[in-house]
């Protein structure tokens, strides 16, 4: 009976504990957002990049690059870009506009782009030694890469200049390409018979006077490629103008038929598009039409599940907890650096190799990953340190893949949370990179393992200078670092504040920029509502960092608090088993204490009291029932005892 009573009491305690845990788990935010996390866990189609099916930009990947670019009978203009590069994002609308303009040229040159932020494209971007983004290259017909020969670099990013350059390059290929659609761009001579050798489809020749150092005739010919009825020829010889009675001072063009009849036209504007439209209108009046459009094989993407609802939930969660540092963002920064940024570099040597070694050493010391992730970074650092002269990006990538296979799971998340943007092209990696370096600078300030106040700043400067995919951003950062005297920072606390002030300067520069996310405007951090004591009262209020009277002691305390490893938020993590148990336990305790409502507390106290009462009753009824009776027993010598 005593054993039964104890068992009943124990069963009562277990049931009570289970009820309490059920109530507690009902208030934990992670359960409430479980469906959202599952939706956000879906892999993002990185190949979409900055361009989609609505654009005239042909999207290249490792799967179709060679078949599209190499040994073709037409040329290719390739943009190498990074999705997260601010300069690339600003240039994307211009490139789309250029692709739209040059769409009629597609039988001679196609406008394409490859996203070097997609890990699968690392090998292509590395092989073509792309050192900055965006990079434009012209690949001529029959192109094959050779030693240091990766296409003609196009330095301009202005549409008109790009068009002029392409027209000149295309004209240089004249008569050397096995492409029946390639226009005859040789200048017309006085004695030339215009229709000699032309097929019967060509019923008209358009004669255009092309001034010296102009590509007017070339571009007009390219704009009319889709009209098989006409062939555009250019001339600069005054004798040709006299022969066909063209008044070049009036900017006339001549439309000549096979019988030698000449009809003159005067375009309203002296642009190639206007000249082409003038000829198109004349042909349309004669009931001629262009060739039906041929759509080149484009990447086909399966329609992904609508993630807008999940995205909105995540944005609401982040805006609600705007000071949280998220584990997912720290991991995505590390993943992108190791899997994408470093492997894209073809040859890692000299200062670049030293910068990589320093970065890995600092990352090893202040690594936010779990056990496997820490082993990965440690082994990777040891691997890189053994190289004194040169390390190939491909070798780094292969070693990284080998270690990941050996160690198993590394990352607990595969998407951004706190750095999620309201659209796929906003925030993301650049946001997570700032988060990672802020996190490491705060850890360094509280660590006795290293006394160098510049270790994190030096690692950040070297990484951004030699590996960061946004060339424009890198140059801005290096100039700012020099102006702000990064190498004169005297202490680790000052390093935390230097990085904070630098980040605010960048926010101030980019506020209102086309790359700014409207859901997350770039403001001076922390805001007055976030940390009232961080700002001293001033006579004039301004959003500019220079006009804010900061209380730097309060700012430092605020930064150290929000970047405390114990407070790193694990919302959105899919594989929590890869993280440290101690941090997991602390997180659960914090969540339980935070999510208990008054009703939860009253219910818990009631159940706890009820449990105690039941235990007392159980022992009273069973353990002490009938009192205690001594039972005599027999002994061989002493008898009854």
Same domain for 556 and 446, yes or no, is: yes
Burial classification of residue 229, based on how many CB atoms lie within 10 Å of its CB (0-12 exposed, 13-18 middle, 19 or more buried): middle
Where do runs of H (alpha helix) occur along 286-428? 308-320, 327-336, 350-365, 371-385, 393-407
Q: In degrees rounded to 5, what are phi and psi of residue 529?
A: -75, -25
User: Rounded distance, CA 119 to CA 372, Å?
Assistant: 21
Which has the minimum average pLDDT: 29-33, 84-88, 287-291, 366-370? 29-33
Cα 110 vs. chain centroid, distance in angstroms? 25
Same domain for 371 and 510, yes or no, is: yes
Indicate whether 191 belongs to any domain.
Answer: no
User: Rounded distance, CA 121 to CA 101, Å?
Assistant: 27
| Token reading at 197 | 């050798």
User: Regarding predicted confidence, which is higher, 612 or 380?
Assistant: 380
E strand or H helix at 481, and its extent?
A: helix 471-483
Which has the minimum average pLDDT: 97-106, 295-304, 364-373, 481-490? 295-304
Does residue 237 carry a pLDDT above 70? yes
Q: In degrees rounded to 5, what are phi and psi of residue 157?
A: -125, 20
User: Rounded distance, CA 569 to CA 581, Å?
Assistant: 14
Indicate whether 187 belongs to any domain.
Answer: no
User: Rounded distance, CA 61 to CA 125, Å?
Assistant: 10
Same domain for 281 and 312, yes or no, is: no
Same domain for 28 and 53, yes or no, is: no
Give the three-class secondary structure for 390.
strand
| Token reading at 13 | 């305690």
Indicate whether 546 belongs to any domain.
Answer: yes
Exposure on the CB side of residue 185, measured as CA atoms within 13 A: 26
Indicate whether 416 belongs to any domain.
Answer: yes
Question: Tell me, what's the pLDDT at 602?
Answer: 65
Same domain for 23 and 56, yes or no, is: no
| Token reading at 520 | 């997350």
Residues 6 or more apart whose Cβ sits within 8 Å of residue 339 = 119, 122, 397, 400
Q: Which domain holds residue 118?
A: 46-172
3-state secondary structure 270-306: CCHHHHHHHHHHHHHHCCCCCCCCCCCCCCCCCCCCC
Which has the minimum average pLDDT: 43-57, 146-160, 504-518, 561-575? 43-57
Indicate whether 137 belongs to any domain.
Answer: yes
For residue 535, list its beta bridge partners. Answer: 550
Same domain for 476 and 554, yes or no, is: yes
Question: End of a domain among 254, 285, 316?
Answer: 285
Same domain for 337 and 401, yes or no, is: yes
Residues 6 or more apart whose Cβ sits within 8 Å of residue 74 = 107, 108, 109, 110, 141, 177, 179, 182
Q: For 543-554, what is the mean pLDDT?
A: 76
Question: End of a domain among 172, 188, 212?
Answer: 172
**Alpha-carbon torsion 243, 246, 249, 252, what sign?**
negative
User: What are 513-525's pLDDT values in tens digits?
Assistant: 888 888 888 889 9
Question: How high is the mean pLDDT of the chain?
Answer: 82
pLDDT band at residue 601, thresholds of 50, 70 and 90? Answer: low
Question: Tell me, what's the pLDDT at 631?
Answer: 52
User: Rounded distance, CA 311 to CA 572, Å?
Assistant: 12
Same domain for 240 and 383, yes or no, is: no
For residue 257, list its beta bridge partners. Answer: 204
Residues 6 or more apart whose Cβ sits within 8 Å of residue 242 = none
CATH code of the domain containing 544: 1.20.120.310
Question: Tell me, what's the pLDDT at 30?
Answer: 41
**Alpha-carbon torsion 624, 630, 634, 636, what sign?**
positive
CATH code of the domain containing 255: 3.40.30.10
Torsion of CA 341, 343, 349, 352, to 10 degrees: 10
pLDDT band at residue 299, thresholds of 50, 70 and 90? Answer: very low
Same domain for 500 and 552, yes or no, is: yes
Same domain for 353 and 401, yes or no, is: yes
User: Rounded distance, CA 392 to CA 376, Å?
Assistant: 19
Strand order in the sheet with 75-81: 58-60, 109-115, 75-81, 135-139, 152-154
User: Rounded distance, CA 393 to CA 462, Å?
Assistant: 17
This prediction's pTM: 0.73
**Alpha-carbon torsion 394, 398, 399, 400, what sign?**
positive
Indicate whether 467 belongs to any domain.
Answer: yes
Indicate whether 589 belongs to any domain.
Answer: no
User: Regarding predicted confidence, which is higher, 9 or 70?
Assistant: 70
User: Rounded distance, CA 478 to CA 457, Å?
Assistant: 12
User: What are 266-293's pLDDT values in tens digits?
Assistant: 998 889 999 999 999 999 999 999 988 7
Q: State percent of the chain over pLDDT 90.
A: 49
Same domain for 402 and 515, yes or no, is: yes
CB atoms within 10 A of CB 77: 27
Torsion of CA 96, 100, 102, 105, to 10 degrees: 130
Q: For 213-224, what is the mean pLDDT?
A: 93
User: Rounded distance, CA 432 to CA 496, Å?
Assistant: 17
Q: For 404-430, what is the mean pLDDT?
A: 88
Indicate whether 298 belongs to any domain.
Answer: no
User: Rounded distance, CA 110 to CA 155, Å?
Assistant: 18
Residues 6 or more apart whose Cβ sits within 8 Å of residue 382 = none
For residue 11, list its beta bridge partners. Answer: none
User: Regarding predicted confidence, which is higher, 90 or 608?
Assistant: 90
| Token reading at 441 | 């600078």
Provide the number of structural domains found in the chain.
4
Q: In degrees rounded to 5, what are phi and psi of residue 347?
A: -130, 115
For residues 205 and 230, the answer to whether their CB atoms sit within 8 Å is yes
Same domain for 133 and 271, yes or no, is: no
E strand or H helix at 432, and its extent?
A: helix 429-445
Question: End of a domain among 285, 320, 340?
Answer: 285
Question: Tell me, what's the pLDDT at 599?
Answer: 54
Residues 6 or more apart whose Cβ sits within 8 Å of residue 62 = 120, 121, 123, 124
β-strands 75-81, 109-115 pairing: parallel
Residue with tokens 């951090």: 525
In 413-541, beta strands by DSSP E: none
Question: Tell me, what's the pLDDT at 471?
Answer: 85
E strand or H helix at 626, and its extent?
A: none
User: Rounded distance, CA 173 to CA 166, Å?
Assistant: 11
């Amino acid at each position: 009976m005593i054993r039964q009573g104890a068992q009943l009491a124990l069963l009562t305690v277990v049931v009570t504990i289970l009820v309490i845990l059920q109530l507690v788990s009902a208030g934990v935010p992670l359960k409430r957002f479980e469906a959202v996390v599952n939706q956000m866990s879906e892999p993002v189609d990185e190949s979409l990049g900055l361009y989609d099916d609505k654009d005239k930009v042909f999207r290249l990947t490792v799967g179709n690059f060679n078949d599209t670019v190499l040994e073709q009978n037409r040329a290719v203009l390739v943009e190498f870009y990074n999705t997260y590069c601010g300069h690339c994002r600003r240039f994307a609308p211009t490139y789309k506009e250029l692709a739209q303009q040059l769409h009629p040229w597609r039988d001679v040159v196609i406008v394409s782009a490859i996203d070097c932020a997609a890990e699968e494209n690392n090998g292509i971007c590395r092989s073509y030694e792309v050192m900055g983004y965006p990079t434009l290259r012209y690949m001529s017909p029959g192109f094959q890469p050779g030693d240091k020969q990766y296409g003609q670099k196009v330095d301009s990013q202005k549409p008109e200049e790009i068009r002029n350059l392409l027209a000149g390059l295309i004209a240089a290929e004249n008569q050397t390409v096995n492409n029946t659609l390639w226009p005859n761009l040789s200048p017309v001579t006085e004695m030339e018979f215009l229709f000699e050798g032309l097929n019967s489809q060509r019923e008209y020749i358009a004669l255009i006077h092309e001034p010296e150092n102009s590509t007017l005739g070339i571009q007009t010919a390219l704009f009319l490629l889709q009209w098989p009825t006409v062939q555009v020829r250019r001339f600069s010889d005054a004798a040709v103008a006299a022969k066909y009675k063209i008044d070049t001072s009036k900017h006339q063009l001549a439309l000549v038929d096979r019988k030698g009849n000449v009809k003159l036209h005067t375009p309203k504007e002296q642009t190639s598009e206007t000249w082409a439209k003038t000829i198109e209108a004349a042909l349309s009046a004669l009931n001629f039409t262009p060739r039906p459009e041929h759509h080149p094989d484009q990447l086909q993407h399966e329609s992904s599940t609508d993630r807008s609802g999940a995205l909105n939930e995540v944005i609401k969660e982040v805006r609600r907890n705007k000071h949280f540092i998220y584990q997912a963002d720290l991991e995505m920064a590390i993943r992108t650096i190791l899997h994408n940024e470093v492997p894209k570099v073809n040859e890692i040597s000299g200062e670049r190799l030293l910068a990589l070694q320093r970065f890995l050493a600092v990352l090893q010391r202040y690594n936010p990953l779990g056990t496997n992730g820490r082993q990965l970074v440690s082994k990777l650092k040891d691997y890189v340190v053994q190289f004194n002269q040169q390390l190939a990006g491909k070798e780094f990538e292969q070693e990284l893949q080998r270690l990941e296979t050996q160690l198993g799971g590394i990352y607990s998340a595969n998407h951004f949370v706190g750095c999620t943007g309201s659209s796929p092209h906003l925030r993301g990696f650049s946001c997570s990179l700032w988060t990672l370096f802020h996190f490491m600078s705060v850890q360094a300030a509280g660590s006795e393992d290293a006394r160098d106040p510049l270790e994190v700043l030096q690692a950040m400067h070297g990484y951004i200078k030699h590996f960061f995919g946004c060339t424009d951003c890198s140059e801005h950062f290096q100039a700012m670092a020099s102006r702000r005297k990064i190498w004169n920072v005297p202490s680790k606390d000052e390093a935390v504040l230097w990085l904070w002030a630098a980040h605010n300067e960048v926010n101030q520069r980019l506020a209102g920029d086309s790359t700014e996310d409207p859901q997350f405007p770039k403001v001076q951090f922390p805001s007055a509502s976030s940390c009232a004591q961080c700002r001293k009262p001033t006579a004039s209020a301004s959003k500019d960092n220079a006009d804010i009277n900061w209380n730097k002691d309060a700012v430092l305390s605020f930064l150290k608090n929000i970047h405390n490893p114990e407070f790193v938020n694990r919302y959105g993590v899919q594989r929590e088993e890869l993280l440290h148990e101690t941090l997991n336990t602390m997180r659960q305790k914090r969540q339980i204490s935070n999510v208990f409502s008054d009703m939860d507390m009253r219910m818990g106290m009631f159940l706890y009291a009820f449990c105690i009462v039941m235990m007392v009753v159980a022992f009273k009824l069973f353990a002490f029932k009938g009192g205690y009776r001594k039972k005599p027993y027999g002994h061989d010598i002493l008898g009854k005892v």
